[in-house]
Amino acid sequence: MREGQAKVLNDDELKRVYAIAGSGRMASRDVLLLDYSFKLGLRVKEMAALMIDDLIEDNGKIRDSFYLTADQAKGSKGRTIYLSSKKLRKNLENYLTERVGDRNRHLFKSQKTAFTPNSLQMLIKRLYDRAGVKGAKSHSGRRTFATRLIEAGYDIKSVSVLMGHANIQTTARYISENPVRLGEMVAGL
């Protein structure tokens, strides 16, 4: 990990932070927030900009994908976000059920108002701190997303598209080296 880079979480750390998120007063929101970070690779700026209507069709059905507009994304470059994870979809359904009648159309909100990117950053940092995950930042979810996809065997070009990067070199900087995996690769020769 380069100096200043957010930590990539391992399986144990992921379980701990999800357990902490799932035990709080706003459990369904906090779990979904982690899903959007770890399973979709969204930045806090992008999560803060999401509206419920971005994710839900007129008939109330959750979309299979949605387009993150250039205004919502970084660098004026939009991208398609795929809501294909069954667990994420179930968590989204649970959260939206709690929001029935709520007139605030932002997806992620505190008690009364929409989150700003800064307030989301602080919330995520509190979850990491409570889970005892040292060195994690709001960008850790995004780095973990990219690293796990590459480790699962997906090509860097496809991961780059999911991340919204114009250049795969940018994506390569996100991916954490895994010494255990590197050793396993060489052992098979």
Residue 160 carries which side chain, given as an amino acid letter? S
Hey, is 117 helix, strand or coil?
helix
* pLDDT of 142 strictly over 70: yes
Q: Which residues pair with 42 in a beta bridge?
A: none
* pLDDT of 3 strictly over 60: no
| % of the chain at pLDDT higher than 70 | 94
* pLDDT of 137 strictly over 70: yes
pLDDT tens for 42-58 read 999 999 999 999 999 98
Domains delineated in the chain: 11-141 (1.10.443.10)
Span of 80-89, 141-150, 174-183 with lowest mean pLDDT: 174-183
How many residues make up the chain in this entry?
Answer: 189
* pLDDT of 76 strictly over 90: no
Terminal-to-terminal C-alpha distance of the chain: 26
